[in-house]
Structure 1
Amino acid sequence: MADDQVLTDMLTMLDRRPGVLALRVCVIELLIERERYADALAHCGTALGHEPGNAQVLALMMRCTTALSGGSPAPAATSMAAPATPASGSAAAQPDFDWAAAEDEVGDIIEPAFVHGVPTEFVTDGDAATVERPSLRLADVGGMSEVKQQLDLTLLGPLRNPELARAFGTSARGGLLLYGPPGCGKTFIASAVAGELGANFYPIEITDILDIYTGASERNVHSIFEMARRNAPCVLFLDEVDALGHKRSQMQASTTMRTVVNQLLTEMDSATHSNEGVFVLGATNHPWDVDVALRRPGRFDRMIFVGLPDLAARKSILHYHLRDRPVAGIDLDALAAHTDGLSGADLAHVCTSATQLAMADSMRSGEVRPIGMADVRAALAQIRPSTGAWFESARNVVEFANGDGSYDELATYLRRMKRR
């Protein structure tokens, strides 16, 4: 039907440009007309994330919660997109949404960055993937002072002071491997490094490389490095390096993956390629599974451990995930003090769970209730640290596979955290 097609078209456009509030309000009103209150309520939450406290969206949310709780939804408030009341017997009128104006509006919107909430510019290179230019800086990363200090010493310092670096016979050539438990901000830090350098940011995952056709994966690796070289200065970020560059001694049955590792070694080797201005950062949860040749000098020859968020980082993460949601009486200092041992992903899960509890209560009562400390405490009672298995593996590596001292930093961290 034509009416349903209008809604479909709006939803399609909203997928492309999620930040256009006027378009989302129209979608919410259409969903309410069709009595799809749960879908409308989800869009209300997203809209409030973009513009907290918007009176129009809050009114629409109240209509949804009232309907879901069994009451009769209040009549629609007049809005800039609300249609006139249809004549008796006529089809329901659709919101008179100005599509051309919407296209003009979205043209001025900057897409969300690889790190959420960070404005980003984009650089395109033919049919290649998109390279990002984040405005995030290390100062925007809460806490983690030891990680920042090591980044400044091993990478940023030599790049900012090239003459001094040459005088001491050092440089920032080669690659830097960030490792640690999952969900602790390695990707976030890599983006901040790019922003600190004023460089392009090119994030790559294993799915961007692997291909079912023979030789295609190796060509993908080469194309990725070529694009990074063309867009220098560029931070080439390789996520899940242990999956991409797994130990070849353990891959006798997989010829394809062995050749991918060989190609990666070739691209990172300064003897075969000039990677001037290309700073290769890798991230892995299991550095002990990375091929030893990838960790020799000139490749990933430096490692930095990224552990669980400290007190300042936890407070920053909690603030980020609650900042666009209706809250009341939240004590971030108290929450940060009582969430030691949780990863950044765990903290995000706590905030999401607390939000769901408050929303469920709002749907039952028919009134919007903000998220409070009771919701967060209830969520914390249900969530356990997700990194326990990782620390068990890390402890075994420190005990039995640290003969060359590669994991001394990890050993010190485990002792300090009393995990040994």
Structure 2
Amino acid sequence: MANGNPAVRRDELEMLIRARYPVINVVSYEEQRVLAHVQRIAERREKKVYTWSFNTGVIPAGLTEQSARRTDPQTRDPLAALDRVIGNIEPAIFVFFDFHPYMGNRNFAVIRRLREVAAALKNSYKTLIIITPTMCMTEDLEKDVTVIDYPLPDLTVMEDLLDQVLAEVRDNPQLVIDLPPESREALLQAALGLTFNEAENVFARALVLQGGLSAESVPVVLEEKKQLIRKSGILEYYEAAEGFENIGGLDLLKEWLWKRSFAFTENARAFGLPAPKGALFLGVQGCGKSLCAKAVSAAWKMPLLRFDAGRLFSSALGSTESNMRRSLAVAESISPCILWIDEIEKAFGGVGGSGGDTDGGTSARIFGALLTWLAEKTAPVFVIATANNISKLPPELLRKGRFDEIFFVDLPNEAERKEIFRLKIAERNRNPDYFDLDALSKASAGFSGAEIEAAVVAALYDCYYAGRDLEEGDVMLALAATVPLSRTLSEEIRKLRDWCLGRARPASTGAPEVPEGELRKIELE
């Protein structure tokens, strides 16, 4: 199948070559795609292209393996290869593969020679390009080597690839292609974030698994993205099976999210809509913030990545910052996707406080990196952050521009509790019409959604032990035996409500009942 034909920031690579930047580090896993791009530039600039790897040494680009064996084997040595770059007379571009292991801090000879190459090539028509999967620049080379990130295939490249895949299988009567415009765009959007080879492989996999390509091929592509996340070892991939219909209440929040589900299409870009940045969910524990994050993934048909602060922080010096950068890079590489930062105050609550320097400033540095990324990211990564304790959140996180909106998720009101009971009873294979949902809703004033579900489960345990089916009275007893958080944490909830008043949008219409003990005592006489 064909090679992609990208433009790197209006062909930044060609601009650097024309400006005679001597040494360029291109960060990309797609060696062949970058090499093809370099060859097109060299053809336009009338330059030759040479490649280097440890197995072949320096050889003209495009040589067969058999021909490569007859070249000078001495240039397999990194120092000899760099000597060849300096000694070459004609205008040329040298592309080095897998050279980064020789650029470590202890390889003083290679680092010294690279700096000499950079100085020698400034006054020549030669360029050295080093392709590495990740940025691995030492301090000694920071001023001599220019680093650029080679972007993954964009929508245009994916369209060309899909068209060529379809052209190759068009005459196969055993394959069924059913891709109307909406399904085609959904498939292409799902493929964004994959490398060219990964996209080519996953299209072929869908053809084999499903006997064709259709809207049903989107989950196959998302499964490929799941493998990328597993390989990273930092983010967690969540299988989101529940949609908005499985959430009781939160009507305003669900409406806001649903409207933004259409903003990731090319039609939205043409209309002038930017991709939505994300939302911060503040509220009482157990009221559906995390469930809503999972439902967004199912409703939007996008991968859901959970950012785990416990995996981020590491005892190894410097690895925490590296993990942070890698996490954000992985999220961008598989976009469009949803990045879920659960209980964000636990990860960054100490930033700026009296204990903010106990880790040598690591928390402050990674928090600053996150803030910068939230404000400046261009990749379609929708960030959902949840928090229970607003007092621990750094004020910088709440500034406009980090998130599109801040929502306050309060305790469910009576109508919402009724809907939650209906959903939770139905999930346990019982008919909710056989229960007095109004009575259950009234009896559960001040309960969160999680507490309602726990009461239904507790009643089921009692009924199973007693050898009979679930009845309304069993749920009533379970509710009576539960002390909800709205009573034990009434002061904290009141403070949270006071803070969110005028600062955050309500997630639901209507107001919840005020728990007992929260009413203001006024002396009238």
Give the TM-score category using the shorter length.
Answer: 0.5 to 0.7
The residue that corresponds to 1:346 in the other structure is 451
Matched, 1:231 2:334: yes
AA at the equivalent of 2:286: G
Aligned-partner Cα distance in 2 for 1:219–1:342: 42
SS at match of 1:288: helix
Aligned-partner Cα distance in 2 for 1:237–1:344: 20
Range 189-198 or range 123-132, more displaced: 123-132
Seen in structure 2, the aligned counterparts of structure 1 residues 249 and 324 have a Cα distance that, compared at 3 Å, is closer
Report the alpha carbon displacement of residue 190 of structure 1 after superposing the two structures with TM.
0.8
Matched, 1:356 2:461: yes
SS at match of 1:354: helix
Identical-residue share of aligned pairs (%): 23
Runs of 4+ off more than 6 Å: 412-416
SS at match of 2:352: helix
SS at match of 2:405: strand
* Count of matched residue pairs: 289
The residue that corresponds to 2:240 in the other structure is 134
Seen in structure 2, the aligned counterparts of structure 1 residues 307 and 396 have a Cα distance that, compared at 3 Å, is closer
Residue pair 1:311, 1:337 contacting (<8 A) in 2 also: yes
The residue that corresponds to 1:281 in the other structure is 384
The residue that corresponds to 2:411 in the other structure is 308
Report the alpha carbon displacement of residue 359 of structure 1 after superposing the two structures with TM.
2.8
Matched, 1:381 2:480: yes
AA at the equivalent of 1:137: G
Greater strand content: 2
Residue pair 2:243, 2:299 contacting (<8 A) in 1 also: yes
Aligned-partner Cα distance in 2 for 1:326–1:156: 31
The residue that corresponds to 1:197 in the other structure is 300
Seen in structure 2, the aligned counterparts of structure 1 residues 304 and 321 have a Cα distance that, compared at 3 Å, is same
Residue pair 2:413, 2:510 contacting (<8 A) in 1 also: no
The residue that corresponds to 1:176 in the other structure is 279
Seen in structure 2, the aligned counterparts of structure 1 residues 257 and 312 have a Cα distance that, compared at 3 Å, is farther
Partner of residue 351 from structure 2, selected from 239, 242, 248 = 248
Q: After superposition, give the CA deviation of every residue in 1:291-314 in whole Å (9 maximum; x if it has no partner).
A: 122222332452111122344543
TM-score relative to the length of structure 2: 0.48
Seen in structure 2, the aligned counterparts of structure 1 residues 238 and 147 have a Cα distance that, compared at 3 Å, is same
AA at the equivalent of 2:440: L
Seen in structure 2, the aligned counterparts of structure 1 residues 273 and 324 have a Cα distance that, compared at 3 Å, is closer
Range 331-340 or range 201-210, more displaced: 331-340
Give 5+ residue unaligned stretches, structure 1: 1-119, 362-367
AA at the equivalent of 2:492: S
Q: After superposition, give the CA deviation of every residue in 1:352-376 in whole Å (9 maximum; x if it has no partner).
A: 2212222332xxxxxx211212211
Residue pair 1:133, 1:198 contacting (<8 A) in 2 also: no
Give the number of the structure whose alpha-carbon radius of gyration is greater: 2
Aligned-partner Cα distance in 1 for 2:502–2:427: 44
Q: After superposition, give the CA deviation of every residue in 1:153-200 in whole Å (9 maximum; x if it has no partner).
A: 6x446546735873xxx6454331011000011111111222222211
Q: After superposition, give the CA deviation of every residue in 1:86-138 in whole Å (9 maximum; x if it has no partner).
A: xxxxxxxxxxxxxxxxxxxxxxxxxxxxxxxxxx9641112434434535432
Partner of residue 435 from structure 2, selected from 330, 333, 358 = 330
Q: Which has the higher contact order (CA 8 A, sep 6+)?
A: 1
Seen in structure 2, the aligned counterparts of structure 1 residues 315 and 204 have a Cα distance that, compared at 3 Å, is farther
AA at the equivalent of 1:226: A
Partner of residue 406 from structure 1, selected from 503, 511, 515 = 503
Seen in structure 2, the aligned counterparts of structure 1 residues 267 and 250 have a Cα distance that, compared at 3 Å, is closer
Q: After superposition, give the CA deviation of every residue in 1:308-333 in whole Å (9 maximum; x if it has no partner).
A: 23445434433444446576853334
The residue that corresponds to 1:369 in the other structure is 468
Seen in structure 2, the aligned counterparts of structure 1 residues 415 and 266 have a Cα distance that, compared at 3 Å, is same
Q: After superposition, give the CA deviation of every residue in 1:40-73 in whole Å (9 maximum; x if it has no partner).
A: xxxxxxxxxxxxxxxxxxxxxxxxxxxxxxxxxx
SS at match of 2:355: coil
Aligned-partner Cα distance in 1 for 2:304–2:271: 24
AA at the equivalent of 2:486: T
Aligned-partner Cα distance in 2 for 1:372–1:187: 29
AA at the equivalent of 2:252: E
Range 211-220 or range 228-237, more displaced: 211-220
AA at the equivalent of 2:295: A
Range 190-199 or range 175-184, more displaced: 190-199
Aligned-partner Cα distance in 1 for 2:426–2:396: 44
Q: After superposition, give the CA deviation of every residue in 1:187-239 in whole Å (9 maximum; x if it has no partner).
A: 11111222222211001233232223333333222222111111111100000
Partner of residue 363 from structure 2, selected from 230, 247, 260 = 260
Aligned-partner Cα distance in 2 for 1:325–1:302: 35
Residue pair 1:233, 1:277 contacting (<8 A) in 2 also: yes
Residue pair 1:242, 1:286 contacting (<8 A) in 2 also: yes
Seen in structure 2, the aligned counterparts of structure 1 residues 136 and 350 have a Cα distance that, compared at 3 Å, is closer
Give 5+ residue unaligned stretches, structure 2: 1-220, 520-525
Aligned-partner Cα distance in 2 for 1:211–1:319: 44
The residue that corresponds to 2:257 in the other structure is 151
SS at match of 1:387: helix
RMSD, matched Cα? 3.6
Q: After superposition, give the CA deviation of every residue in 1:359-405 in whole Å (9 maximum; x if it has no partner).
A: 332xxxxxx21121221121111112223354422433565x67x94
Residue pair 1:175, 1:298 contacting (<8 A) in 2 also: no
Seen in structure 2, the aligned counterparts of structure 1 residues 212 and 381 have a Cα distance that, compared at 3 Å, is same
